[in-house]
Structure 1
């Protein structure tokens, strides 16, 4: 029986849902659902019964906007009864231990860079904690999926989200309700399973690091005047605001776990403070950046 091309005994397929208002990307997003579905690589099995799924009570905007409630399907009463993020994260650490998931022998799987680089990094900043080592590298399964496609196939993918594009191409059923974190994890686990069945290598292919050279040059804000309403433009701003940026990885090994490729430091040092604060960006904004202000970046 052949083995999958994956160096980890377990993959932890993760998805977050966050607060939003549907009007602006300049919003202090907080995690409101934290879900993980484990995948046993050796047994080639999705461990549905061992899934982690917790709702999280937001503290900056504790009352959901109508847009957010409609988009995620999460009810206000559910969040009112939920724990805050620090408590939920401690539950997650306990879940890892109880299930025998050693951090260095697992890899997070996401459908893009957003969950770890933007959502997790920002959430841990809000609670004044460093980004955990486990969250500093991950498998971007959409990037692996894309490597198996011809350019024309990429252009013809159908769907608004990465998950929709992959399930339609792979002819996989999308499980549950879209934008429910647990349902999305189950769907992503099926996608990951199919990609492994294809014989594609699945390993860490993205990491965070602290000092990209391109951030040494001032940003031209005239190119991103629509950043509050345009997702792609907003990401260009967040790349400056957030201390840690993303780099692609082609040769990951376990000695790289949690370590910045630039400063060679771990999570208790790297990313705790911003080594390249975008003073020029803040000075040139006609209005304060709410995303940055709420996280005390300036």
Structure 2
């Protein structure tokens, strides 16, 4: 059965982190996204930018080891506001190239964000944009939580690595590299769709300003 959506834009942010909680406020340091074609079961385009953290510019040793991101990469990164502008430009290009829309109730082919858990868009991006007085576009307020659908279908709870293993897939690349996490989420979605998973919007805050 043809899914309701034609494309998923799979996001997986990496953020500043510490071995012990409450040592700082998370800031996005890697902003990756893959465009996944649901009918062809393939990734068509990728976006990745490193983001310069402003509150805690020096990454913790724990963060460096967990993500594999180097200090020089975030030092040379762009501020979040500029990264969002670059992303919107990229999104404009690919929506034109593949003739789809991120808007609701469109007669065109449609795309929607997908994330492994609500944290990326509901907590991380929302809080940082609010704290730094950055406008959060309406397109970031509606998404599919893949983990929620995965739990509904399999009754299995765990992280992305455990979910992949549960369905017989191995993780490809480096864990906690945002781009690799997004690619592996796409692989998981592709397999779950062949096993009958139905895509549905799990969060929609577009009516809240």
Q: Say yes or no: TM over 0.5.
A: yes
8 Å contact kept, 1:121–1:131: yes
TM-score (norm 2): 0.89
Which residue is 1:170 aligned to? 167
Q: Partners in 2 of 1:149 and 1:62 — Cα distance?
A: 40
Which residue is 1:131 aligned to? 136
More strand per residue: 2
Q: Which has the higher contact order (CA 8 A, sep 6+)?
A: 2
Which residue is 2:27 aligned to? 30
For residues 130-175 of structure 1, the C-alpha deviation after alignment (integer angstroms, 9 at most, x for no partner) is 332111121111111111225xxx3xx6xxx520221011111211
**1:42 shift after superposition:** 2.9
Q: Partner of 1:138: helix, strand, or coil?
A: strand
2:65 is equivalent to residue 60 of structure 1:
no
8 Å contact kept, 2:6–2:38: yes
2:149 is equivalent to residue 144 of structure 1:
yes
Which residue is 2:81 aligned to? 86
Which residue is 2:9 aligned to? 12
Within-5 A mapping of 1:265-284: 270=209
**1:26 shift after superposition:** 5.9
TM-score (norm 1): 0.63
Q: Which runs of 4+ in 1 moved over 4 A?
A: none
Which residue is 1:265 aligned to? none
Q: Partner of 2:57: helix, strand, or coil?
A: coil
For residues 209-253 of structure 1, the C-alpha deviation after alignment (integer angstroms, 9 at most, x for no partner) is xxxxxxxxxxxxxxxxxxxxxxxxxxxxxxxxxxxxxxxxxxxxx
8 Å contact kept, 2:81–2:134: no
Seen in structure 2, the aligned counterparts of structure 1 residues 22 and 96 have a Cα distance that, compared at 3 Å, is same
Where structure 1 has 5 or more consecutive residues not aligned to the other structure, the ranges are 209-257, 261-269, 271-298
Answer with 1 or 2: which has the greater Rg: 1
8 Å contact kept, 1:29–1:119: yes
**1:187 shift after superposition:** 0.4
Within-5 A mapping of 1:1-298: 3-4=1-2, 6-25=3-22, 27-47=24-44, 50-100=45-95, 102-104=101-103, 105-150=110-155, 154=156, 162-208=159-205, 258-260=206-208, 270=209
Q: Partners in 1 of 2:69 and 2:42 — Cα distance?
A: 29
For residues 105-124 of structure 1, the C-alpha deviation after alignment (integer angstroms, 9 at most, x for no partner) is 32111111111111110121
Q: Partners in 2 of 1:80 and 1:42 — Cα distance?
A: 39
Q: Partner of 1:116: helix, strand, or coil?
A: helix
Where structure 2 has 5 or more consecutive residues not aligned to the other structure, the ranges are 104-109
8 Å contact kept, 1:17–1:31: yes
Q: Partner of 2:13: helix, strand, or coil?
A: strand
**1:199 shift after superposition:** 2.1
Q: Partner of 1:99: helix, strand, or coil?
A: helix
For residues 182-203 of structure 1, the C-alpha deviation after alignment (integer angstroms, 9 at most, x for no partner) is 0000100001111111122112
> How many residues are matched?
199
